């Protein structure tokens, strides 16, 4: 995703990222696996199976902990399970 100077989306990329339930934190691997409030650092995935495989990893589960995670589209920030 590319943002303009006001933080608005200039281009859209239809990928999946992992956010917390409030959609204000995103899972990143840069510089280490953790939650970040910087959407531009969010891990992105091509499809639902990739994101599920990633979150099943023990180290990822340790970072997620008790946080309710949500899989969202990077271009709309809507849950991948919501119908249009």
Residue 27, H or E segment: strand 26-28
pLDDT for the residue numbered 1: 53
Q: What is the pTM of this model?
A: 0.81
Question: Higher model confidence: residue 32 or residue 5?
Answer: 32
- What separation in angstroms does the CA of 46 have from each of 16, 33, 39, 71? 6, 19, 17, 12
As a whole-number percent, the residues of the chain with pLDDT over 90 amount to: 75
**Calpha distance 60→72 (Å, rounded):** 17
- Segment 20-61, tens digit of pLDDT: 999 999 999 999 999 999 999 999 999 999 999 999 999 999
């Amino acid at each position: 995703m590319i943002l303009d100077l006001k933080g608005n989306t200039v281009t859209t990329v239809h990928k999946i990222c992992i956010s917390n339930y409030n959609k204000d934190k995103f899972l990143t691997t840069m510089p280490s696996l953790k939650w970040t409030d910087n959407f531009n650092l969010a891990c992105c995935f091509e499809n639902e199976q990739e994101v599920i495989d990633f979150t099943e990893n023990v180290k990822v589960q340790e970072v997620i902990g008790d946080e309710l995670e949500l899989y969202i589209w990077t271009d709309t920030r809507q849950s991948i399970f919501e119908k249009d």
